[in-house]
Amino acid sequence: MPTILSLNGSPIKHSSTEILLNHIVEGISAKASEPVTHHAVRLNDYAIMPCQSCGVSPEPDYCLYHDDLYPVYDLLINCDVVLFGSPIYFDTVSAQSKLFIDRCNCLRPPDFAETSGHHFKRIIEKKRCGGIVLVGGPRQKYECARTVIAGFFKWINVENVGNVIFAGSGWEAGAVRNDRNSLDTARQLGLNLAIHIRD
């Protein structure tokens, strides 16, 4: 049974970020050859310590710190699809999103046996597919946030299949529910991801 992990970096419940992530999941479920399991992680609900740049490998643990994030590591490593959504703050990802990404640095622990340059072990061998959701205003820039999440995907062995960007003009939480084009784009990304799961 394919598993989907959606990581929601918005601090707002029922946000446009959450709605778009759920529409991607609906698209995957509609096209998947078998039922899927969806694990929705709203990062704002987790007490996560900032990365302490320990400088040592946590092996065999994922990380030296066993806080609320720790169970999410298992979901992240074993899922078939990773979806990451974030609002745009100061032209990049939210604090919740960046905090999570930084704490996943340990998923590529340093290889101290290599003496030249920076070398990292790859403990996630499973190749997965994923998608990115970014939500902001019409005057914001989205490329920096996209680059941050795309770099994170590369770090954890996830191929980005596509992006959904919603540039809303109002302050209402969940405003994307009135934007049929964005909802359809999210669902189509889900349909595309379902094909990648089968491949």
What is the arithmetic mean of pLDDT over 162-185? 91
CB burial of residue 82 (10 Å; 0-12, 13-18, 19+): buried
pTM over 0.75, yes/no:
yes
pLDDT(198) > 70: no
Tell whether the model's pLDDT for residue 21 goes beyond 70: yes
CATH number of the domain residue 174 falls in? 3.40.50.360
Q: Which residues of 113-142 are buried (b: 16+ CB within 10 A; e: fewer)?
A: eeeeeeeeeebbeeebbbbbbbbbeeebeb
How many domains is the chain partitioned into structurally?
1
- Round to whole Å and give the CA distance between 97 and 70: 16
Which among 1-10, 52-61, 108-117 has the top mean pLDDT? 1-10
Domain that holds residue 99: 3-198
Asked if the model's pLDDT at residue 111 lies above 80, the reply is no
**Interatomic CA distance for residues 48 and 44, integer angstroms:** 9
